[in-house]
Amino acid sequence: MEAGRLPQVGQLLDSPFLQEAVRKLSRPLVTETVRRVLGHYRKQRCFIKNEDDQAQLEADILSSCYKLIRTRQTRVINATGTVIHTNLGRSPISPELWEAVSELNTGYSNLEISLAKGKRGERKGLVNYLVGALTGADDALVVNNNASSVWLLLNELAAGKEVIISRGEQIQIGGGFRIPDIMRMAGANMVEVGTSNITTADDYLDAITENTAMVLMVHRSNFAIRGFTESPDIKEVARRLPKHVLLAVDQGSGLVTETFSKDEVPADRYLRQGADLVCFSGDKILGGPQAGIIAGHKELVKRLEKNPMMRAFRPSRIIYSLLEELLIRKLNGEECGRGIAERAQRNLETNRQWAERYLPEWGEHVSLFEDQLVIGGGTLPDEYYPSWSLELNSSKPANKVLDELREMDVPMIAVIRNDKVRINLATILPEDRDVVARQLTHYFMTTHTVEPSK
């Protein structure tokens, strides 16, 4: 290269040092990055005069590429102790389930053709029967997420009419999903009854007019009200509602067969107690892909399916196939039919034993102690379960350690409690244990420094 010049973009792009970045980012994105770095050099009047300058330029380009690579979707280790973590992709799908639908999804499928008749058929496959077997509903439908479920049932069954809701259930779920806004957007008129802590059956019943279409009950997903509280007996509300008023419940989590939470009302119980429709998420506790499931009376489900917005809300076949597989495995009692909330709790003991094997090697860098886990993801906001955690004994500020853990090849997302970094074992997936052990051992040997003992 001539002295005092900058290399050509094309020449840099073909150099071996950038090939991994091209594979991970695509050629156009790397080209843009190279142009940007060269532009910066030109502006600063930095030119390449020797090998050191060239090495510096390459390092600068690589570090810009690396920043972009870090924004790619990537597997991370959840060491937070929050099992269904909204920022970490909510519920991981069990690997067996994913494997089981791979062949179906990489080929054509009978998504909308009846194999018996050779004619156009329904998209649902077995899903509605399986949801029926799970919840006792006589029909069900699936949409892209549970927020859509709520909108759809309000719009189809209550547009232009009144919907009665308790003041204690006017919730906002993450991402700006507020029940009053959804009501308005769906065209329903909200009628609030009760108070934040107390709503009775009479509150609902006294608010009914001839223009009332629905009573909507909403699970308080992400907060708990304690102390002097009262919620009505749903059986009583259902029994006393006049014929023209529907009872719908947004149950949220999709808990049905799971037994770890005694206080949580399972979706099927709402139906047994008289709800006409219940809706919930497909991933949270249920354990499938993100989706919204609405279960209940056949004639209501049929109406929902004919709503014009169903064209926008209907999920792809990937979602149907995963749900179908999950529900079959769940109904057969298989391990991979359990959601992550259940699987994580069953992993606790093996995760502790796994960590104990490494304790001699990790020495004074960590201590193992009894901790807690939460389910998270807008479910069971007030319940804590036992767990085990590693606490890092570090001479560095906890924030710095947290950053270093995120910098690892497979980034580890940990938490700080009492100024110390904690790695909660409850949320480490069995298939990630090896990589966690390898990364921690390497970290303790190279980067991490221990607080001198006092």
Ligand X SMILES: *Cc1c(COP(=O)(O)O)cnc(C)c1O
35, 9 contact by CB (below 8 A): yes
Least Å distance, CB 209 to ligand X, is 26
Per-residue binding string, ligand X, 211-250, x by CB under 6 A, is -------xx-x----------------------------x
Shorter beta-carbon distance to ligand X: residue 287 or 378: 378
Least Å distance, CB 218 to ligand X, is 5
- From the list 43-51, 139-147, 238-246, 411-419, the region that binds ligand X by CB under 6 A is 139-147
Shorter beta-carbon distance to ligand X: residue 98 or 177: 177
Our finding on whether 146 is near ligand X (CB under 6 A) is yes
Shorter beta-carbon distance to ligand X: residue 129 or 177: 177
Per-residue binding string, ligand X, 349-378, x by CB under 6 A, is -----------------------------x
Per-residue binding string, ligand X, 291-310, x by CB under 6 A, is -x------------------
Our finding on whether 287 is near ligand X (CB under 6 A) is no
- From the list 6-14, 30-38, 140-148, 393-401, the region that binds ligand X by CB under 6 A is 140-148
Shorter beta-carbon distance to ligand X: residue 284 or 433: 284
Our finding on whether 290 is near ligand X (CB under 6 A) is yes
Per-residue binding string, ligand X, 244-273, x by CB under 6 A, is ------x-xx--------------------
| Count of residues touching ligand X (by CB under 6 A) | 15
Q: Which residues pair with residue 277 across a beta bridge?
A: 248, 296
Shorter beta-carbon distance to ligand X: residue 145 or 273: 145
Integer Rg of the chain from CA: 27
- From the list 70-78, 113-121, 141-149, 193-201, the region that binds ligand X by CB under 6 A is 141-149
Our finding on whether 82 is near ligand X (CB under 6 A) is no
**How many angstroms separate the Cα of 450 from the Cα of each of 77, 99, 135, 424?**
23, 42, 53, 19
**Closest residue to ligand X in the complex (CB):** 252
SS3 labels along the chain:
CCCCECCCHHHHHCCHHHHHHHHHHCHHHHHHHHHHHHHHHHHCCCCECCHHHHHHHHHHHHHHHHHHHCCCCCCCEECCCECCEHHHCECCCCHHHHHHCHHHHHCCCCCCECCCCCCECCCCCCHHHHHHHHHCCCEEEEECCHHHHHHHHHHHHHCCCEEEEEHHHCCEECCCEEHHHHHHHHCCEEEEECCCCECCHHHHHHCCCCCEEEEEEECCCCCCCCCCCECCCHHHHHHHCCCCCEEEEEEECCCCCCCCCCCCCCHHHHHHCCCCEEEEECCCCCCCCCCEEEEECHHHHHHHHCCCCHHHHCCCHHHHHHHHHHHHHHHCCCHHHCCHHHHHHHHHHHHHHHHHHHHHHHHHHEEEEEEEEECCCCCCCCCCEEEEEEEECCCCCHHHHHHHHHCCCCCEECEEECCEEEEEHHHCCHHHHHHHHHHHHHHHHHCCCCCCCC
Least Å distance, CB 188 to ligand X, is 16
Shorter beta-carbon distance to ligand X: residue 232 or 376: 376
Shorter beta-carbon distance to ligand X: residue 252 or 337: 252
Least Å distance, CB 253 to ligand X, is 6
Our finding on whether 147 is near ligand X (CB under 6 A) is yes
Least Å distance, CB 283 to ligand X, is 7
Shorter beta-carbon distance to ligand X: residue 123 or 220: 220
Interaction residues for ligand X, span 375-394 (CB under 6 A): 378
Task: State the residue for tokens 């806004």.
Answer: 181
Q: What does the alpha-carbon distance between residue 212 and residue 163 come to, in Å, rounded to a whole number? A: 6
Among 82, 145, 347, 439, binds ligand X (CB under 6 A): 145
Per-residue binding string, ligand X, 172-211, x by CB under 6 A, is -x---x----------------------------------
Least Å distance, CB 126 to ligand X, is 22
- Separation of CA 421 from chain center: 24
Exposed, middle or buried: residue 311 (CB in 10 Å: 0-12, 13-18, 19+)?
exposed
Interaction residues for ligand X, span 29-68 (CB under 6 A): none
Query: Which stretches of the chain bind ligand X, using CB under 6 A?
Result: 145-147, 173, 177, 218-219, 221, 250, 252-253, 281, 290, 292, 378
